[in-house]
Chains A and B, each alone.
Chain A
Amino acid sequence: EDKVVQSPLSLVVHEGDTVTLNCSYEVTNFRSLLWYKQEKKAPTFLFMLTSSGIEKKSGRLSSILDKKELSSILNITATQTGDSAIYLCAVEARYGGATNKLIFGTGTLLAVQP
């Protein structure tokens, strides 16, 4: 059965700290890995990583895909209280025909204290 596992489940840091969130997956027909930030309700897209784009960076956030280890990390440097959220990792897998499905991990709850 396809699965995505995130760690840690929760994390409390202080402003200015650097954090690393982990995501590992076991899926057949991997297509891409996506990171989302969920603050209240709607998850918002952060990054998509594929075989042709294994490293992405945007401001203080960066992510790397390790296809050999079937994992990804999301780094946040110089954390701010506004970074407090649930960070979701999802893997897009190809199923029969031309259909894809997103399989989500349970998320990492990050709390940044002032």
Chain B
Amino acid sequence: KAGVTQTPRYLIKTRGQQVTLSCSPISGHRSVSWYQQTPGQGLQFLFEYFSETQRNKGNFPGRFSGRQFSNSRSEMNVSTLELGDSALYLCASSRTSGQMNTEAFFGQGTRLTVV
């Protein structure tokens, strides 16, 4: 079956712009989590969506937001981009949220560069 699909793969934006990233989870998976990965900070949790509801949120400013649609696809949006937002953004899907331990499957990520 198809894996987690993230689009676009690469993105270059200028400071002050906004960006929307997309993640399509594995079929049947209802939980989508977003992570930011930078060389210095490693993988940091942004938020998790399950059944169109945000279930959990990491310590990121309000410029970072997301949503999930009825087909479980998720988008994340970053407004007023800053240079420090340059990172690899990974999304992970899993079958459930909080009900049982399941492994998360990651997409290839979107490499965002802010200039």
Contacts and interface: CB of A to CB of B under 8 A. Distances in A.
B108 A41 contact: yes
A19 B35 CA distance: 28
Contact of B45 (A43, A45, A101): A101
Contact of A99 (B92, B98, B101): B98
A23 interface: no
27 contacts: A31-B101, A32-B101, A36-B106, A41-B90, A41-B108, A41-B111, A42-B4, A42-B90, A42-B107, A42-B108, A43-B90, A45-B104, A48-B101, A88-B42, A88-B43, A92-B101, A95-B56, A98-B98, A99-B55, A99-B56, A100-B97, A101-B48, A101-B58, A103-B45, A104-B42, A105-B42, A107-B42
Interface of B: 3-4, 33, 35, 41-45, 48, 55-56, 58, 88, 90, 92, 97-99, 101, 103-109, 111
